[in-house]
Amino acid sequence: MADLLLGQVLSYDADPFAEGIAAARHESAGAVLVEGGRIAAVGPADRLRAAHPQARVTDYGKALISAGFVDAHAHYPQTAIIASWGKRLIDWLNLYTFPEEMRFADPAYAQAVAERYLGLVTAHGTTSACSYCTIHPESVDAIFGAAATRDMRLWAGKTCMDRNAPEGLRDTAQTGHDQSAALLAKWHGRGRAAYVITPRFSPTSTPEQLAAMGALWAANPDCLMQTHLSEQTDEVAWVQALFPQARDYLDTYEAHGLLGKGGLYGHSIWLTDREKARLAEVDASLVHCPTSNTFIGSGLFDMDGLKRAGLRVGLATDTGGGSSFSMLRTMAAAYEVAQLRGRALHPAELWWLATQGSARSLHADHLIGNIAPGMEADLVVVDLASTPAIAQAVTRAADIWQAIFPTIMMGDDRAIRATWINGKPVAA
């Protein structure tokens, strides 16, 4: 049976960074018809109710029906260490991240954290994520298995490291390649799973391992590749010391076959002009992680400049360096970071980043991240008056954007009325 969801409906015809707020489409009394896991129709509620009288109706009143949030960069194994105090990137890895990731050699522990992570993010309205795992194949099996039981579209990969990490968290160039290849063959394209080739970042991979990952990507060009780039200034200096022959940080990837259209480069704050030009030339994706960047003092992402340069940009929580599982909080942080750079991002731009923009960064905007006929029915229903503070602000709103903005800035999981994944509501 088809489901007809009623409420305010928000969708996009284009990128609002390029086309302005006219790129967004708002139906104040709208409906979304869901059938067979897909969006079958969208439009005015009266028209769709008349056209589909047999559909099962769920009336969400004045709540906002949107594409589900898409988190383009996360570390699900860091779920338990989220909001740990202090430290910059390298200290954070050594003090918190690496000790926790060593626990994922235990399949039961990996499974428990994977289930907890997906439960947390879906409660916050996130319907798809792209996650790093650990070096352990068990960690990859755990997250893909947990996602499969939820029919959730998920990207993930074994994190490869063969230096500058503790004993027990290092593989080799050969084992990193071979285990990644086996996991790719096992999971990529199985249901809604997509494997991502995942060298953590240049400081934790030898040139030999980077080359092995580049060879694996060249052999599997339909896969994405994810890594980190220019997150902190001391990290950039470390890379220069480790790769003295490289022109810049990006060159450590480019020289080993790890720069391309399917590349996802997390953070990308301290980019040189050459790096920006090359990333734009190959149509790479950058992923903005604002709560992480402020939490561990990394810097201010240049959203305005990079979008004007034509780059694909996604938005992400960066769990657990990021301090929230919520894409609402992530949008708020992106707004605050942009303000510090002199640009007030419009609510239409922020919402696009968390949905269609992130989907586009993952080369999946034809599948998820928007409400349009034929798209997969991953949806979030947002209460725009979820708390007294938000509700009183909404009473002053003159348009939909003024009504949405208080939820962006102050909303949390209480704002999520419902999450639909692959055409089915997620059990609370």
The CATH number of whichever domain residue 390 belongs to comes to 2.30.40.10
Of 118, 125, 158, residue with least CA distance to 141: 158
Model confidence over 374-406: pLDDT tens digits? 999 999 999 999 999 999 999 999 999 999 999
Please check whether residues 348 and 400 belong to one and the same domain: no
Residue 33 has pLDDT above 90, yes or no: yes
b/e per residue 79-89 (b: at least 16 CB within 10 A): bebbebeebeb
pLDDT for 428 equals: 62
Please check whether residues 80 and 57 belong to one and the same domain: no
> Where a domain ends, among 328, 361, 394?
361
Cβ partners under 8 Å of residue 423, min gap 6: 3, 34, 35, 36, 37, 38, 376, 377
Residue for token pair 């099996």: 141
Alpha carbon distance 308, 265 (integer Å)? 18
Please check whether residues 130 and 279 belong to one and the same domain: yes
Model confidence over 245-260: pLDDT tens digits? 999 999 999 999 999 9
Please check whether residues 61 and 150 belong to one and the same domain: no
Distance, C-alpha 415 to centroid of its chain: 20
pLDDT for 345 equals: 98
pLDDT for 275 equals: 98
Kindly state the tokens that stand for 93: 């890895």
Overall number of domains in the chain: 2
Please check whether residues 282 and 353 belong to one and the same domain: yes
Please check whether residues 269 and 126 belong to one and the same domain: yes
Contact call for residues 70 and 128 (beta carbons, < 8 A) = yes
Contact call for residues 317 and 83 (beta carbons, < 8 A) = no
Please check whether residues 179 and 242 belong to one and the same domain: yes
Contact call for residues 363 and 262 (beta carbons, < 8 A) = yes
Tally helices (H) and strands (E) across the chain: 18, 16
> Where a domain ends, among 311, 327, 361?
361
Confidence of residue 84 (pLDDT cuts 50, 70, 90): confident
Sequence-distant contacts of 293-298: CB under 8 A, at least 24 apart: 293/231, 293/267, 293/269, 293/337, 294/333, 294/336, 294/337, 295/321, 295/322, 295/323, 296/87, 296/88, 296/89, 296/92, 296/232, 296/321, 297/88, 297/232, 298/89, 298/231, 298/232, 298/267, 298/269
The CATH number of whichever domain residue 331 belongs to comes to 3.20.20.140
Alpha-carbon distance values, 248 to 233, 256, 265, 313 (Å) = 12, 13, 14, 21
> Where a domain ends, among 343, 361, 379?
361
DSSP 163-185: SSS-TTS---HHHHHHHHHHHHH
Please check whether residues 119 and 251 belong to one and the same domain: yes
Domain residues for the domain of 354 are: 69-361
b/e per residue 357-391 (b: at least 16 CB within 10 A): bbbbbbbbbebbbbbbeebbbbbbbbbbbbbeebe
Backbone φ and ψ for 257, nearest 5 degrees, come out as: 80, 25
pLDDT for 83 equals: 87
Alpha carbon distance 199, 221 (integer Å)? 16
Strands 416-421 and 424-425: antiparallel
Please check whether residues 201 and 142 belong to one and the same domain: yes
Please check whether residues 265 and 403 belong to one and the same domain: no
Alpha-carbon distance values, 187 to 129, 182, 282, 355 (Å) = 15, 9, 27, 24
Contact call for residues 356 and 375 (beta carbons, < 8 A) = no
pTM recorded for the entire structure: 0.98
Model confidence over 139-162: pLDDT tens digits? 999 999 999 999 999 999 999 999
Of 204, 196, 203, residue with least CA distance to 157: 196
Model confidence over 155-205: pLDDT tens digits? 999 999 999 999 999 999 999 999 999 999 999 999 999 999 999 999 999
Model confidence over 274-329: pLDDT tens digits? 999 999 999 999 999 999 999 989 999 999 999 999 999 999 999 988 899 999 99
Residue 94 has pLDDT above 90, yes or no: no
Model confidence over 226-247: pLDDT tens digits? 999 999 999 999 999 999 999 9
Contact call for residues 270 and 301 (beta carbons, < 8 A) = no
Please check whether residues 19 and 133 belong to one and the same domain: no
Please check whether residues 85 and 62 belong to one and the same domain: no
What are 131's strand-pairing partners?
Answer: 74, 156
